[in-house]
Structure 1
Amino acid sequence: MNSKISTLTKGQIIDDKYSVSFFLKKGTYAETYRVQNEAKEIKFLKLFDFAKLHRTQFTESGDLLEIEILKKISHPNIAKYNASGYTMIDNQKFAYVVLDFISGETLADKMKREEKLTSYEAKNIVLSVLNGLNYLHTLPNSVIHNDITIQNIMLDLSGKVEIPKIIDFGYSRFLTQSNKDFLKEGLNLFYTANETLNKVFSVQSDIFSVGALYYHLVTGLPPYFIEISKYKSDKIQLEESILEQRQKPLKFPEHIDGHTKLIISKALQPKSENRFKSVNEFLKILNGDLEVELSVPEEKAQKSYEKEKKKGKGFSAIAGMSALKAQLQLDVIDALHNSEEYAKYGVTIPNGMLLYGPPGCGKTFFAKHFAEEVGFNYVHVNPGTLKSRYVNATEENISKLFQEAEKNAPTIIFIEEISGLFPSRDSDAHEMSKNAVEAMLAEMDRTGEKGIFVLCATNYPDKIDAALLRAGRLDKKVYLSPPDFEARMAMFEMYLKSRPIDLGLDYELLAKLTENYVSSDIKDLIVDEASRFALKAKSKITMKILEEVISRTRPSVSLLELEKYEIIRKKIEGEDSIISDRPTIGFKK
């Protein structure tokens, strides 16, 4: 059956009610058809292949979530539900939903033909989409669409006036649903809000998508557009590059008026709290009933790097790791503060340090608090900040980064996931990546003498070019493992103390139950999920709720993966061990 163009054939009868007229489109888990009902009316049928659906696409009772949402909604700017059911085809179970057939074209088809729309036409389409979303968001059980794009807006051309209608609720979720029940694979990343890339969806996520839609309509391209073909299957790198682009100011053609620019800019703010608070507010501003104000100054978004003097708790926010803290205090922090005294003894700060270990163990967290402890200039970059598709541009970006760091010395440069930026030159890495490695090696020559300390983090230390790990470059290498028992206790207490908790929570038991769970598991998968559960039940966060959430939650890093990291750690520390005891990451109250 997989080799067929479509599962259904012309004239085939579904559930004794619908006759297939012709096949429309095939997706990853569903196919769409034009059909006729018993009254010979033209309808739209979507056929779901159970074998290809993901578990997150079902409700707790086992019903198909998309169909259950469509059953509950009805609005002039949303495709209208007619019926649904189940059918067997070649001994395989399928679900189907029948909607009104919309006689017209998708907004994507219109854009292919016209490239971009007038401000007036774009505004009217956006108003219709917002009206539909306002209805969804204000339902008793709010629905978030999560996939507003030019492909998912149909233009009904059957009457005298063009009517935009929202279609395809495949990524839609009830606002009350857990973020774990969300599969982001397949989303159009140019329309996807920053938080949704982390599987967090909200009213503001849909607002971001409408802002992206508005921008696309008036300019002809999605916002912060980059060529995605070079990323191939590297989705993480693609996401990072898009997020990096969003740190830059939006570019608008000259013909776009200032009011429209402000509206789109506010909808597309990277931080959800800086966008419109609701679709209704978006509607009022678009209709001229309210004034629009950006929540953040535009010049803030024009920084190419996050460069600031870090203030905060510093090392006091990190539990354990006393040997590492003491060594960094002596070798780095004191050297930065007393450079002349150190110079008398011919001692300079080391060039750099590598933090490595499983995902979610707090590498970025440690880097942040290390910078706070030092208190000097801090530059935070990721591969997307430095990488460029243009010849020699990456090397120029690296050179500029170090020039600015030296100018503002003493400076800490923190580079995330350097394995993606400086892969081994012995691998099949692209020639441009190899050139980037050589540029980085040249810049790291005597950085300590220049008042620059390079702090790097990665989940894949075995994929970094070996030359970067030698003495005089990333001298120090620190393995950050899942938090130990004491750290887990402290984390539960810290994350729960400001929430409505029941008396007598057993933090020791919670720590025992979460052996091998990483820091992000405890915060995001357990504490946050327990909070959502308690909120829904209108109760305090109890021990019973926490234990139940833990019982349903597996560690995000498997024991097999941890064993692999142990092998890598032994190999690295055997070559250049910095301390006798393995440091562990944790948090203090």
Structure 2
Amino acid sequence: MQSTLTKSQVVNGYTVVLFIKQAINAETYRVKGNDGKLYFLKLFNYSKLHRTAFDGDGNLLEIEILKTISHPNIVAYKDSGELIIDNKKFSYLVLNFIAGETLAERIARENISSLYDAKLFVSGILNALKYLHSQKEPVIHNEVTLQNVMLDLSSITPIPKLIDFGYARLFHQSSKTFNKEGLNHWYIATECFNNIYSPQSDLFSVGVLLYHLLFQLLPWYKDLAKYQAAKLKIEEVIIEQRKKPLSFKDIEDKIFDYEPYINNVIKKALHPNTEIRFKSADEFLQALNGDIEIEDVDKVEIQKSDKEDANTKQFSVKPKGKGFDAIAGMKELKDQLQLDVIDALRNPKEYERYGISIPNGMLLYGPPGCGKTFFSKRLSEEVGFNFIDIKPSSLQSKFVNATQENIAAMFKEAEEKAPTIIFIDELDALVPSREGDLHQMHANAVNEFLAQMNDCGAKGIFIIGASNRPEKIDPAILRAGRLDKKVYLPPPDFEARKSMFEMYLKQRKEVLDFGIDYDKLGQLTENFVSADIELLVNEASRKALKDKSRISMETLEYTIKNNKPTVNLSELKKYETLKTVMESGEDVFNKRNPIGFKR
């Protein structure tokens, strides 16, 4: 193919020395500057560039990114500009010259025989990505391959440098129309087939590169020649290949200083589940250098599956999760519970030394849909207790004394599996006030519940009751020594709403567009309860599915505009009044209407 520039041609002070290569998007030359130094020059024909090669202002994205970054493991920007050749508009990018060869050329010339060398090269790439991903606006390279890493051989120790930012983009740019043409499909992460590009997808590519360096083979491979006509079919073939286990056969014969822990590092880097994969370049670096131990993800998955099967046979489950870290906002409430409940449950002997009794339980009350169940589970995670989730219908029975027996059985199991948190939703339905015309069967259930609650804290049992109508609960349940703490859960504040959008949308990341403004979503949903937020995300997802599009900011804003909060302002004001009364200590549960004539 004939090059656009000819030898000795001068481009704005740079003299062409040698044509290097022709790529889909650009031609690369070796040039000499007016300062006598050698440089690389990339020439872009605007008419051949895909629209995603440009930023919102019409500037060439590769040039704009390289202008703003500087790192010893990344090729350095020198100059750029535009020119007209044969009435066609071109852009050029000048980069510092690297005296050396690509990693692809290196292993074609000589196989890697030392783990030290492989780690040296991969560490340089990871350091470059760590820098890119930590920018204020993270940069995703999207094309980490053997061809796009050059070894600078101008010093004693080769220095790997990440080159070719033709497919790079800013993390929050929309990827709806991202042009994948020309990318090596075997190197890109599976989620990229759905236009999901992130720092983790770059790290997947590094995992492929590490395997390729060590084994002189791709981790998975199939001749795609017959599938070239159908791109979707190619992606399906690759996904099927990646279901096969990785092979680490005869590695010691190829790499004299090989260490088996590298197998686990590679498995983690190439795992199809992004939740298991390395979360950051820094974590990958630490694992590669042996600073942190990486478990065999295959064994971890088997153990996890076994535990899940075992737990399906049990009534209570010991939850593992982020605890209060999963709840944004509510700092005052979390601090209060930390002192009054969590510390007491974790260190009962310390509290006993000071003569402070261990709490038996607490009541969570507030408007419907404010996340009382969610909050209870996070509390259970924070404390590390087993968790029993109860609905009144699972205990109540039409048969005489059966409800009391079910309540007793629940407390017995909780004690056997202590420490345990019992969460009872709609507590007012299980233990309604005995004042008035309450059926004797219900009264007996309340009496049984009160009897079982005695000394729960000492038995390692903590009860959380939730109710939207706390005034309907039998007052004896809420006295000191029973549900000691009464906690009002209001509609989520701004930080909580923002966090909920992030949590629910993260579960749909394969179809989620970039550019989601979580701050704006939090601002638009004032007075929406937790259940409303989940509903909004579900409705936006249905609309995106119907439109055959990704879940975008525009779709979310449309959904919010067309849905109102399920709890109106007058109801919220009633709950605020109830909160004030309950905190004052006034008995709102036993109030009777005055006897006599109206005045």
TM-score by length of 2: 0.52
Code of the aligned partner of 2:8: G
Alpha carbons of structure 1 residues 163 and 529: separation in structure 2 relative to 1, 3 Å? farther
Asked if residue 267 in structure 1 is aligned to residue 269 in structure 2, the reply is yes
Instruction: Say yes or no: does 1:519 pair with 2:545.
Output: yes
CA RMSD of aligned residues (A): 3.5
Residue 92 (structure 1) aligned with residue 88 (structure 2) = yes
Report SS of the residue matched to 2:275. helix
Verify: 1:241 aligned to 2:241, yes or no.
no
Q: Within 1, Cα distance between the matches of 2:282 and 2:36? A: 39
1:377: which partner in 2?
none
**Contact 1:117–1:217 (Cα < 8 Å) also in 2:** no
Match of 2:495 in 1: none
Structure 2 letter corresponding to 1:13? V
C-alpha separation between the residues in 2 aligned to 1:14 and 1:232?
38
Q: Which of 166, 170, 173 pairs up with 2:166?
A: 170
Equivalent position of 1:120 in the other structure: 116
Instruction: Check whether the contact 2:543–2:555 (CA below 8 A) recurs between aligned residues.
Output: no
Matched, 1:62 2:58: yes
Partner of 1:5: 2
Give aligned pairs, total: 338
Q: Call closer, same or farther: CA 1:295–1:34 in 2, change over 3 Å.
A: same
One-letter amino acid of the counterpart of residue 502, structure 1: T
The aligned runs of 1:42-441 (5 Å cut-off) are: 42-254=38-250, 255=252, 257-295=259-297, 297=299
Structure 2 distance, partners of 1:131, 1:541, is: 41
Equivalent-residue separation in structure 2 for 1:133 and 1:100 (angstroms)? 19
Check whether the contact 1:194–1:271 (CA below 8 A) recurs between aligned residues: no
1:59 Cα shift?
A: 0.4
Whole-Å Cα distance in 1 between the matches of residues 87 and 51 of structure 2? Answer: 21
Give the match's secondary structure for 1:67.
Answer: helix
Cα offset for 1:113? 1.6
Residue 300 of structure 1: how far off its partner (Å)? 5.8
Name stretches of at least 5 consecutive residues in structure 2 with no aligned partner.
253-257, 306-504, 513-517, 529-535, 563-599
1:528–1:223 Cα change, 3 Å? farther
Change (3 A) 1:526 1:46: same
Q: Which amino acid aligns with 2:292?
A: L
Match of 2:525 among 488, 499, 502: 502
Is the alpha carbon distance of 1:5 and 1:201 closer, same or farther for their aligned partners in structure 2, counting shifts above 3 Å?
same
- Determine what percentage of the aligned residue pairs are the same residue: 47
Counterpart of 1:253 in 2: which secondary structure?
coil
The verdict on how the C-alpha distance between 1:530 and 1:66 changes in structure 2, with shifts beyond 3 A counting, is farther
- Code of the residue aligned with 1:287 in structure 2: it is N
Q: Deviations over 1:509-528 (max 9, x none)?
A: x9xxx9x9872646x53446
Taking a change above 3 Å as real, the CA distance of residues 541 and 503 of structure 1, as seen in their structure-2 partners, is: farther
Deviation readout 1:46-104 (Å, 9 max, x if unpaired): 00010010011100000000100000111000000001111111111100110001111
Q: Quote how far apart the aligned CAs of 1:299 are.
A: 6.8
State the distance in 2 between where 1:113 and 1:129 align. 21
Structure 2: which amino acid aligns with 1:265? K
1:18–1:527 Cα change, 3 Å: closer
- Contact 1:25 1:32 (C-alpha < 8 Å) held by counterparts: yes
Q: CA deviation at 1:116?
A: 4.2
Shift of residue 503, structure 1, vs aligned partner: 6.6
**Distance between the aligned counterparts of 1:107 and 1:146, measured in 2?**
17
Change (3 A) 1:227 1:192: same
* Counterpart AA for 1:163: I
- Partner of residue 27 from structure 1, selected from 23, 26, 33: 23
Matches of 1:141 and 1:31 in 2, distance apart? 28
Q: Which residue matches 1:556? A: none
Amino acid aligned to 1:280: D
SS in 1 for 2:157: coil
Whether 1:37 and 2:37 are equivalent positions in the alignment is no
Distance 1:287 1:530, change over 3 A: farther
**CA distance, structure 2, for counterparts of residue 46 and residue 519 of structure 1:** 41
Q: Say which one has the larger Rg.
A: 2
| 8 Å Cα contact 2:544/2:550 also seen in 1 | no
Residues 366-416 of structure 1: CA distance to partner in whole angstroms, max 9, x if unpaired? Answer: xxxxxxxxxxxxxxxxxxxxxxxxxxxxxxxxxxxxxxxxxxxxxxxxxxx
> What is the CA-CA distance between 1:13 and the residue it aligns to?
1.1
Against the structure 1 CA distance between its residues 528 and 208, is the aligned structure 2 distance closer, same or farther, given a 3 Å change threshold?
farther
Q: Which amino acid aligns with 1:276?
A: F
Conserved in 1, the CA contact under 8 Å of 2:268 and 2:276? yes
Amino acid at match of 1:213: L
Rounded to whole Å, the distance in 2 between the matches of 1:193 and 1:282 is 16
Amino acid at match of 1:196: C
Contact 1:249 1:298 in 2 (8 A): no
Within 2, Cα distance between the matches of 1:77 and 1:23?
24
For 1:482, the equivalent position in structure 2 comes to: none
Contact between 2:10 and 2:16, CA under 8 Å: does it hold in 1? Answer: yes
1:268/1:504 CA distance change after superposition, 3 Å: same
| Residues 172-210 of structure 1, C-alpha deviations (whole Å, 9 max, x = no match) | 111121222521221111111011111111111011000
Distance in structure 2 (CA, Å) of the matches to 1:84 and 1:178? 25
Distance 2:89 2:527 in 1: 49
Deviation sequence 1:123-177 (CA, Å, 0-9, x none): 1110111011101011111101110000000011111111110000011111121
SS in 1 for 2:186: helix
Counterpart CA distance in 1 for 2:210 and 2:300 is 19
Q: Structure 1 residues 126, 189: CA separation in 2 closer, same or farther (over 3 Å shift)? A: same
- Superposition deviation, residue 236 in structure 1: 1.6
How does the TM-score come out when normalised to structure 1? Answer: 0.53
Helix, strand or coil at the partner of 2:123:
helix
Runs of 5+ unmatched residues, structure 1 = 304-491, 535-539, 545-589
Tell whether the 8 Å contact from 1:502 to 1:541 is kept in structure 2 after alignment.
no
Deviation at 1:292, TM superposition (A): 1.0
| Distance in 1, Cα, partners of 2:187 & 2:113 | 18
What is the distance in 2 between the residues matched to 1:157 and 1:262?
31
Matched position secondary structure for 1:47: strand
Q: Tell me, in whole angstroms, the C-alpha distance in 2 between the residues paired with 1:211 and 1:85.
A: 36
For the residues of structure 2 that align with 1:117 and 1:70, how far apart are their CA atoms? 34
2:202 maps to amino acid: D
Output the amino acid matched with 1:285. A
Q: What secondary structure is seen at the aligned counterpart in 2 of 1:205?
A: helix
